[in-house]
Every structure is written in C-alpha cells, then in structure tokens.
Amino acid sequence: MNQIIQRLKKSVIDSLPRSYKTCVWLLKIMLPISLGVRILDYYGFIEYLSTYLHPLFNLIGLPGSLAIIFVTSIFVPLYGSIAVMASLSMTLREATIISIMCLIAHNLFVECAVTKKTGSSFSWMMTLRISMAFVVAYVLNKVLPVNDAPFLLSQHVEEYLSLTDVFSSWFYSSIQLTIILVTIVTALMILQRILIEFNWIERISKPLVPLMRIFGLSDNAPFLWIVGNVVGLAYGGAVMVEMIEDGKVTKKEADMVNHHMAISHSLLEDTVLFVALGINIWVIIITRVSFAIIVVWSKRLFDILRKGKLNKS
C-alpha cells in the first residue's frame, strides 16, 4: 500500500512542472485572443463581416440574418454563439444546421493555435473547419425534413457600453478562465502521469483500437481521442503536446487526430449543451463523427496520391 501511495505522490509531483508550463502556454494564446475578439465585437467588426456572408448562407438554405451566429462562433467559444442565437428568430431546423456549423467552426484562433503546436498547419486547420462547416450545412439542408417548428431559446446577451466595460468583462472572465484552465490541465496531467505510472493507458486504449482503425487513426490515438472528446480540443491539445514530447505519439499521428478532432471533438460537453437547447442528439453525433471519418480518410488518400506523384517525379 505504501508503495502505491509513493507512486501516486511521484506522479503528482512529476506532473506539476509540465502543468505549469502548459497553463502558461495556453493562457498566452487564450487571453490576448479573447480580449481582441471583445474589442472587435465592441466596434461592430463581427456584425460587419457577417453581412458579406448573406448570399452564401442563402445557398445552404439559411436566412442571411443567421450569418452573424456563425461569424461569432469563429472568434469565440460556443457560449458566445448561443448568446447571439437568443436574439434571433429561427426554426428548429435552421437552428440545427447553424448549431452544427458552430460546433465544427468555433473558437478557431485559439484551437487552431493549439493544433499548430501539435504538428498541424494553422491556416489549413482554419480553412478545413470553415469549409467543412458549409459542406455539412449544405448536406443537412438537403437531407433534413422540412420543419417549421420554432426554436425557443432565452439567454442574456452581454452588451458593452464603453471600452471600460469591455476590459472589465474581459478581466473577470479571464480570472474565471484561468481558474478553470489550471484546474482542468493540472487534473489531466496528473491523471495522465498516473495512467503511465501504472501502465493503464494501454488497457484503456486497447478496446478502442478497432474503432480508431475505422476512423482512420493510428493504434496510439485512443487516449487522445478520449481526452479530446471529454474535455475538448484546447485542453486535449495540452495532453497531446506532452505525448509527442514523450515519444508516445508521432506528429504525423497527431496531425491525423487533429483532422478528426477538427470536425468532431468535445462530443460530451458540446453535445449535452445543444441537446439541452432542443437539438437532436443523433443528428449532432452522427453528422460530426461521419464527416470526421470522411475528412481523415480523404486526408489519407491525398497523402498516398501525393507520395505516388513525388515518387514518379
């Protein structure tokens, strides 16, 4: 028993320096971006940008007025998109389509910066997620049955009366974010160290290996997939960075996981959030996972064709 306690203590102690380093890295990304987004919102940039998307939204069967929801999602976490949804009128069908678009392409600057650290191109991840949001919306518009039932949502929409309000709101939300981030990342780092110390990662991951192969991911991907779908891409990226540094996962394998997670991540929290708002759970899960599989296998096919072309030349 004493030996187990000592091993647990060692796992905690070993995880703390990496936890501190990772938290500082994430906060350097998140805090400036969140402030910048609030300032852009205050000066009306987000609403101005959304006006140029009206024609494109009409092509996927959505009214142009909903473009501001999607544009907001690109810059901020999902809660910001939900706040904007509260101020607009739409049907449940329209809400379903725009919700899944936001699930695919939200908080892009933060999350793409995280995936860049784990071997993926920042610009490509941005392009992939935005373009796939529209592809998925186009398909859903074709397959979802007509439904004029209203989407009912009531949320408080935060308004800034001055730049002082912007900085004040950002400061207090940053304190909350820092507390949440430090708690989650430290807990994840400790958990990972304990799993490694007691050789439990392989036991947890092994049953999921066949599923990963269907997804087009490597046999080393299950633990990353679990973390990414439980706590999300930004926090999961912290674990991925450590596993790359420890040689548990290659950057090529991490890049494939990033392609999957670009379309389908945080299936636990995000799904529960939108199901609580009235969106069908199966539409969310089946759509996101199916298109994530398509993206990864398309990436694999592209890599094979490119490699063959290079060999011929």
Question: pLDDT for 127-153, tens place per residue?
Answer: 999 999 999 999 999 999 988 888 865
pLDDT of residue 299: 95
Summary mean pLDDT of the chain: 84
pLDDT of residue 258: 94
pTM comes to 0.77
pLDDT of residue 31: 80
pLDDT of residue 154: 40
pLDDT score of 189 more than 60 = yes
Beta bridge partners of 91: 150
pLDDT of residue 280: 93
Domains identified in the chain, total number = 1
Structural domain of 192 = 2-312
| Mean per-residue pLDDT, 286-296 | 97
Q: Looking at residue 162, what DSSP letter applies? A: S
pLDDT of residue 140: 96
| Mean per-residue pLDDT, 10-38 | 79
pLDDT score of 94 more than 70 = yes
What are the distances in angstroms from CA 276 to CA 81, 93, 269, 279? 15, 15, 11, 7
pLDDT tens profile 109-120: 889 988 888 889
More confident residue, 230 or 151: 151
Percent of the chain topping pLDDT 90: 30
pLDDT of residue 72: 85
Compute how many other C-beta atoms are within 10 angstroms of the C-beta atom of residue 24.
9
Q: Looking at residue 106, what DSSP letter applies? A: S
